[in-house]
Amino acid sequence: MSAPERLSAAAAIAELAEGRLSAEALARACLERAQARAAISAWASLDPERALALARALDRRGRPGILKGLPVGIKDVIDTADLPTEHGSPIYRGNRPFADAACVAGLRAEGGLILGKTVTTEFANRFPGATRNPHNEAHTPGGSSSGSAAAVADFEVPAALGTQTGGSVIRPAAFCGIVGYKPSFGEISRVGVKMQSQSLDTVGILCRSLEDLPFLRGALLALEGRALAQKGPPRIGFCRTPVWEAAEEPTKALLERTASRLSAAGARVSDLAFPPTFAGILEAHERIFFFEAARNYAYEFEVHAAQVSEVLRTRIGAPGRALPLALYIEALEKAEAFRAYCDDLFAEFDLILAPSAAGEAPFGLESTGDARFNAIWTLAGTPSLTLPAGRGEKGLPLGVQLIGRRYRDETLLEAAYWVSLQLD
């Protein structure tokens, strides 16, 4: 058996189920790794004694449920009853929620061990936290699910929850070289999650193997955690998106190579371009995001303005509050039309191939990177995931993004499994 902390979630669950590994031993290995790698700053709250006591309790109960005592990290905008939830903001320092978020309660019900809370950008927005990319500490891990992505990539926890409003699961997963999954909009409950945008916010999963996802998704949705089935070659739409020019050359080359490789393996790969009607679809995402976030942070802006970052106040708050209601409604209507258009695409395709990010993780910690390659699909409400697929010129990970039809997440996972086998 590999070092326990290096096991994928699926492999760890198998070891836990067979009794070859205890929940306490796995939790201890993860905690020791987190302590040894404290410079990555992946954790907002970590209480080793609490985590080990929970692990021992799970062992005494026979490691129940789908997850069998698997440690999971929780992004610090998601409520936990036994750990602080601080939202990456000094306003909420020491905040102790009364109850778990629904997604956390679902994990616990299936034998999940909440190892700790992972660092988030301020309110899952733009102002970054202290987390560093484990592949190169001088580079961003992405955001806003920065701590979740870094902790999973750095073998500090097998899996973690994140949230995505623009690109906050897919992009950090790609930057850190792991698997990120954003389900169909609304599939996973957001009760107990700090609301940024009611039209866009989505709870997602970060892990190290595509085969981990059925177990974690099963726990969150009270479904059976069964292994992915091998299917035949899918029909793939290669979508360069309206912001293809923003992609770096290594990313463009990776996507072109991936499309050719999948075609050679038997997939039917066709180019896909949005009609002119949706050339400016990202403007609709921005309007919805700004309008809703500016109002959802009314308490913070009005009561604690001095403790809100300048980025949030001036780049989100002021423009969002100034946005006319008519333009917001127009953006909502355009989003609905875009979702219907995307639904229709899947009469022709089983999945869509697109960039996960513009390129490698940018240098420095001041920015978490460009979210536009993800925001398109967040607006569409479609399930999407990123698979590690190579390295860039700086030696940092690159990913490819796969998108499926709304509410057909299992179909996407099965098609993505075929893709993953071709990409090895």
Quote the CA–CA distance of 162 and 73 in Å, as a whole number: 9
Q: What is the largest CA-CA distance in the chain?
A: 60
Write out the DSSP string of 247-305.
S-HHHHHHHHHHHHHHHHTT-EEEEE---GGGTTHHHHHHHHHHHHHHHHTHHHHHH-G
Quote the CA–CA distance of 184 and 81 in Å, as a whole number: 27
Digit-by-digit pLDDT tens for the chain (424 residues) are 679 999 999 999 999 999 999 999 999 999 999 999 999 999 999 999 999 999 999 999 999 999 999 999 999 999 999 999 999 999 999 999 999 999 999 999 999 999 999 999 999 999 999 999 999 999 999 999 999 999 999 999 999 999 999 999 999 999 999 999 999 999 999 999 999 999 999 999 999 999 999 999 999 999 987 789 888 999 999 999 999 999 999 999 999 999 999 999 999 999 999 999 999 999 999 999 999 999 999 999 999 999 999 999 998 999 999 999 999 999 999 999 999 999 999 999 999 999 999 999 999 999 999 999 999 999 999 999 999 999 999 999 999 999 999 999 999 999 999 999 999 7
- pLDDT tens, position by position, 136-190: 999 999 999 999 999 999 999 999 999 999 999 999 999 999 999 999 999 999 9
Class of domain 4-221: alpha beta
Closest Cα to residue 120, out of 139, 93, 152, 142? 142
Domain-wise residue ranges, the chain: 4-221
Q: Which residues are catalytic?
A: 75, 144, 168
Predicted local confidence at residue 230, as pLDDT:
83
Predicted local confidence at residue 424, as pLDDT:
77
Q: Which one-letter DSSP state was computed for residue 184?
A: S
Quote the CA–CA distance of 202 and 222 in Å, as a whole number: 18
